[in-house]
Amino acid sequence: MRRLNRKKTLSLVKELDAFPKVPDSYVETSASGGTVSLIAFTTMALLTIMEFSVYQDTWMKYEYEVDKDFSSKLRINIDITVAMKCQYVGADVLDLAETMVASADGLVYEPAIFDLSPQQKEWQRMLQLIQSRLQEEHSLQDVIFKSAFKTASTALPPREDNPSQSPDACRISGHLYVNKVAGNFHITVGKAIPHPRGHAHLAALVNHDSYNFSHRIDHLSFGELVPGIINPLDGTEKIAIDHNQMFQYFITVVPTKLHTYKISADTHQFSVTERERIINHAAGSHGVSGIFMKYDLSSLMVTVTEEHMPFWQFFVRLCGIVGGIFSTTGMLHGIGKFIVEIICCRFRLGSYKPITSVPFEDGHTDNHLPLLENNTH
C-alpha cells in the first residue's frame, strides 16, 4: 500500500514538471544554431561580469531636510599662513548676535616661513589640481566621501629642509566654537580688544609699510574634522599687490551628516565666492586691509548615505540577463532561419522548369506527370 502511494505521488510530481525533457534523437542541431549559441554565451558572460562589478560598487544617496538644531555650537577649523609677523596680526570672529570669539580661545600663532619647500610646493600643486577637477567633475565628491579615512591627511606636510632665513610669516591654526548664526572671521592688523559696540584692533602701533596680507589657506572647514575630505578653499594662495588690500570670502555653510561604510560624522559642506580689492579712500574704495571670511548657514541639512545594491536585486537582474538573452537569441535565430528559407525557396522556384505537355489524338494535352509503371518480376 505504501509503495502504491509512492508511485502515485511520483506520478503526480512528474505531471507537474514544467521542464519536459526532449529525447536527443528528436533534437536537430545546425551550424547556425551553434554559432548563435556561442554568441549568446559570450554575451551572457560579459554582461554577468559587468553586472557583478555594478553589484560590488556603491553610490551616495542625498536626502534633504530642515536643520532644526539651532542651539549647538559650530566648529571652525583653521590653518592659514599670513605673510606678516605674528605680533602684527590678530584673528577673531564677530557674529550677528554681536558675540565676539577671540583667537585666544583656540587658535595658535606660530612663526613660519611663507615660501614653501619643494615637497610642500608639490603637495600644494596636487591639491590645486584636485580642486580644479572637483569644479569640473562634481561626481568626484562622492569618491572623496567614500574614501574618507582611507587616504592620507590633507594637512600641509612639514618642511623637509632646514632654511637659514628667519620666519617672515605667521601660521594661525586651531579651531573655534561659534554660534550657529552668520558671522565674520577675519584676520587684520593688530590684536583685537573688546568694545561696547563690537570690537577694535590696535593697528596704530604697526607700520603701514609692513602690511602684507598675502596668505595661504592650507585648511578651512566647518564642523567635525574628517581626514581625507578636501574643502573648497584648501590649497588656496593669494599674493597681495598692494599694502592696503582686502581679501573677502563669502561662504555658505550647509550642515551635512555623512554615513558611509567607513565613517559616520556630522560635518559641513560649503560653497564660496571670493573678491579682492585695493583700499583707496580717495577713489571711493573704503574698508580695512585684511582677510575677511563672511559665513552664513543654510537652513537645509543634507544627509549623505552610502548605499549598496541588495543581493535579491542583483539575483533578479542576473536572471533577467540570462533569460532575456536566451529568448532574444532564439527569436532572432528563428527569424533569420525563416528569411533564409524564403530566399532560398524563391531561387529554387525560379530555376524550376515544367515538363512538356503530351498531346492526344483528339487535340487535348496532358499536363499531369506520367505515372510510374509497376514492374512485376
pLDDT digits (tens, 9 = 90+) for 305-346: 888 888 888 888 888 888 888 788 878 877 877 787 788 776
Indicate if the pLDDT at residue 376 is higher than 50: no
Strands 89-95 and 100-102: antiparallel
Least confident of 120-134, 233-247, 254-268, 344-358: 344-358
| pLDDT for the residue 43 | 85
**Which residue is associated with the grid cell 593697528?**
203
Mean pLDDT, the chain, whole residue set: 79
* In-domain check, residue 12: no
Residue 95: inside a domain, yes or no? yes
| Length of the chain in terms of residues written | 377
Is pLDDT of 121 > 80? yes
Contact at 8 Å (CB) between 101 and 208? no
Q: What is the pLDDT of residues 81-94, one digit of tens each?
A: 999 988 888 888 88
Q: Is 210 helix (H, G, I), strand (E, B) or coil?
A: helix
SS3 (DSSP) at 284: coil
215 & 88 share domain: yes
Residue 192 is assigned to a structural domain of this protein: yes
How many domains is the chain built from?
A: 2
Task: Give residue-wise pLDDT tens across range 239-258.
Answer: 998 888 999 999 999 998 88
Let me know whether 43 and 118 are in one domain.
no
For residues 246 and 276, membership in a common domain is answered with yes
Name the residue range of residue 315's domain. 30-57+310-347
In the beta sheet, which residues pair with residue 77? 175, 221
143 and 260 share one domain? yes
pLDDT digits (tens, 9 = 90+) for 275-292: 998 888 788 788 888 899
Cell of 61: 544617496
- The answer for residues whose C-beta is within 8 angstroms of residue 64's C-beta and 6 or more apart is 300, 301, 302, 303
Other beta carbons within 10 Å of 231: 21
Whether residues 236 and 339 fall in one domain: no
Percent of the chain, pLDDT > 70? 76
377 band by pLDDT with thresholds 50, 70 and 90 = very low
Name the helix (H) or strand (E) containing 65: strand 58-66
Among the three residues 231, 266, 298, which one is the final residue of a domain in this structure?
298
Does residue 373 belong to any structural domain of this protein?
no
In a domain, 360, yes or no: no
Winning range, highest mean pLDDT, from 210-214, 294-298, 351-355 = 294-298
Buried b (16+ CB within 10 A) or exposed e, 323-335: eebeeebeeebee
305: exposed, middle or buried (Cβ count in 10 Å: 0-12, 13-18, 19+): middle
Q: Which of the pair, 7 or 197, is modelled with greater confidence?
A: 7
Q: Is residue 372 part of a domain?
A: no
173-195: average pLDDT: 85
Q: If residue 286 lies in a helix (H) or strand (E), which one and from where to where?
A: none
- What is the C-alpha separation between 334 and 331, in angstroms, rounded? 5
